[in-house]
A and B are shown apart, each in its own frame.
Chain A
Amino acid sequence: MNWMTFSGPEIFYFGASLWFLLLTFTAKPESVNSGARGRTYLTAIFLASAGILVCLASVHAEGWLFIKAYKVDPFSQVFKTLLSLGLFLIVCICGQMTDIDERRHNEFFFLLFSCTLALMLLVSADHLLSIYLSLELSSYSLYILVALRKRRAQGLEAGIKYFLIGSFASAIMLFGMALLYSTCATAYLPEMAKVLPGMIGAPAVVTGLVFTLGGFFFKLAVFPFHSWAPDTYQGAPNQVAAYIATASKVAGIAIILRVLASAGQGSPYLVHILVILSVVSMTLGNLAAIAQKDLKRLLAFSTVAHSGYVLLAVLVMDASAYSAAIFYAVAILVMKFTAFMVVVELAPDGRNLRIDELAGLHRRSPLMALALLVALFSLAGIPPTIGFTGKFLIFTAAIQKGYVALVIIAMINVVISLYYYLLVIKAAYLLEPARTLPPLVLSFPKRLLAGLSIVTIVVAGFCPYWLIQIAQAAAQPLILGR
């Protein structure tokens, strides 16, 4: 068994987090100078970029590990690549983490890498237990990451809320898993996929399934498990919020797809629940976002809304919907990252960014303003952006299944969402600051990053075929797994 070759990413990230753990032990608390910090950062960048290569190298791997509890297939490998990409992007904007105690930077990276590792395990998990374990592992890293903030009051509150709601949700999920296990007589997803469609109507199965999904809904911030999102985004350090909004969401989409793909589509009740939750999530997220003053909190609510769109894809449950959801995961990764990048760059001291603080951005940094504009339009789903193409694919899949009304509701939500995105854009392009602020000086790599983000969003929106093919390839195992 050549498990070394096809579990390369996991091993690599395990090693990387171990490396940071060791650094944590060796570093002397008193003597953190800028050189050491720079070294830590460079290491992180190096490891993160190397991680992408490792993931790419093993992208075609396929097989099982741990008595088939762990499945390596194109689906998981694509998501692992996405996660490594997400991590790399987040590390890129961690250059000036003034909001986290400098002595804790090693721990920060340790938690970040181990969280990524956990998410990678999650996307490969094929057994309830492995799912549960990796989910918990990623959550615990994040709880601490959130609480790490120097602005303790905010960080702690966010951490507490995240932790309480998260562990509540995972308790529910665990109970659901227990029910599923007890009715299916197996904890392997492929085995469950064989028996579940036949007994999908049974109360215990439905309860178990819905409870289990609750844990994933928490990851994805779907109503009613979304309530941590606004506070956590707002209270967490900007970089951590960015990580939660991107990598964590991507993994959430992955696991929800894998579990529901094995549940199959036999139950109208399940679909009804998903429809309800999807509609409520997007409506509630979009409505609540209108009233926000804090940019991160606004993005949190927009995340809730986007979970609603993802659920729309999930509930359709066919090949095109799965690939649409995978495509949308990519879209979320890119556009959320771009938006958060602007937040991070505009708040070098790590404070929260109020929307009216964006005033005059178009003059201070036209590039950042443009990045924000493109990212927000992409989030709103205006072509030619990746966000639009993602929505288009989802809607296509949904309408093919006959959910026209649902798509119209989603489009109305898009209109509502554009309203608050426009408010942000207005602040960036229209308002003038009370006192003139100095131009924002960006280093070349940052400009390159911003430029690449913009180009990616637009080009992937306009010429999405390559990405769609990848998404289709990744969705293949979900269909065959049935």
Chain B
Amino acid sequence: MTIGVLFGDLLKSLFKKPSTQNYPYSKISAPERLRGKLVYDPEKCIGCMLCIKDCPSNAIELITVDKVNKRFVLRYHPDKCVFCAQCVENCRFKCLSMSNSLWEMASTSKEAFEVYYGREEDIAILLERAAQPGINEPACEE
């Protein structure tokens, strides 16, 4: 009868440091390729929309501010994103990448899940527009 085959390991474990990662208190560095939050570089973008076409979860929208001068704002929804990196693969101008440091994205507010990427003045224009709803809407007939 053989019982307790595990005994050797058991004793070893007793004197070994636990292998549990003490996560929120001590962080280990993420590998280089880790697919975290999407990062967008507006300088390089030409607005080909290839990234949007293949996004499996409709997590990115490209809003054109000025097509001629190539000014775009990328609205990114991290809550919808599945982190597949297909958009990064599709982008021929390397203006999209996935961060390996921004990956702790839990939040108690909804605002954190709508990210605007682009030149600051473009975003300002966009948000201003959004802040004044119904300017052109005709009033309800009595």
Are A and B part of the same complex? no
Binding site for B on A (CB under 8 A): none
Query: Which of B's residues lie within 8 Å of A, judged by CB?
Result: none
